[in-house]
Structure 1
Amino acid sequence: MSDDEDIQAERLAIRKRAMDLLARREHAYKELVTKLAKHEHARDEIEIVLDGLVDDDLLSDVRFAEASVASKARRGVGPVRIRAELMQAGVTESVIDTALADSEADWVAIAGAAREKRFGPDWPEDFPTKAKQMRFLQRRGFDGDQLAAVFD
């Protein structure tokens, strides 16, 4: 096989593996680069293939961010933690801001539901219990304003 045929075969293998991953769920560009690099593909070839997938609208950080926000909100995760996880996945801050702003999530209601699921319907009677519940919600990614609204 010639070098050109080797390159085409590698790109085809990268594309197939990327499409298999995208068939399961949306991925961020950087996330796919990392996963594909583990299979010993050349990084520059990975980026060429992924750029093609972006051009074909098969790979989108915007769709990944929107899907992540919706999925994590349904599981009771707050916007602070969602933002951190998206940043770690390599999504730009402007895309994250847009995804969070466009989501229909009522963060106070989500925080309240997460509190009730974890601790039951009864409200805390004393400060140590309230503080424990607030720390739980903070770890889940809710900010101070959302916590105040839940406990008011």
Structure 2
Amino acid sequence: MSREKDPQKTRLAAKKKVMDLIARRDHSEKELRTKLRERFSDEESLGEIIDEAIDFAKDQNWIGDPTDLAQRMADMLHRRNKGIHYINNYLREKGLPSVSTDRDLELEKALSIVKTKYDEDYEFSREEKARVGRFLASRGFDSETVRKVIYEKL
């Protein structure tokens, strides 16, 4: 006995899934499409169902401006002391536009990370400076910020 799925129920389920996802946190349109595609992968008219659910969310004004969403996500990552390369890569993965670099903020975050990791009066050897540079680069800081921290501030 085969179970045929009701397309109307599937459309309703897709809309509910969009509501659930957006209720938890803001999502970009690309994120919503990806998650809906994973959830409803066995449906025949998948593209149409996803488009309808996304359009429903847009009509309800649940999906905001991508630039505003990108700025909010970037602010969250700034508070976590992530570098600009990390932030822009994260935004790119989410399908959002990149944010501009604030050099002073980047330098301040990098210094804060180093001061948290090492004492104020710690004397850095050449190898330790290289290690700090690799650490900051792994946190997504650009080479100019890393250079300033290592050669001018340490």
Letter in 2 for 1:73: H
Match of 1:10 in 2: 10
Question: In structure 1, how many angstroms separate the alpha carbons of the residues matched to 2:148 and 2:61?
Answer: 40
Structure 2, unpaired ranges of 5+: 1-5
Are residues 1:79 and 2:84 paired?
Answer: yes
Which structure has more helix as a fraction of its residues?
Answer: 1
TM-score (norm. length: structure 1): 0.78
Deviations 1:110-148 (A, max 9, x none): 111122223444445211101111111111111112123
Deviates more, 1:44-53 or 1:65-74: 44-53
Alpha-carbon RMSD: 2.2
TM-score (norm. length: structure 2): 0.78
Match of 2:38 in 1: 38
Instruction: Please list every run of at least 4 consecutive aligned residues from structure 1 whose deviation after the TM superposition is greater than 4 angstroms.
Output: none
Q: Percent identity?
A: 29
Match of 2:112 in 1: 113
Structure 1, unpaired ranges of 5+: 1-5
Question: In structure 2, how many angstroms separate the alpha carbons of the residues matched to 1:46 and 1:123?
Answer: 56
Rg: which structure is higher?
2
Question: In structure 1, how many angstroms separate the alpha carbons of the residues matched to 2:132 and 2:124?
Answer: 11
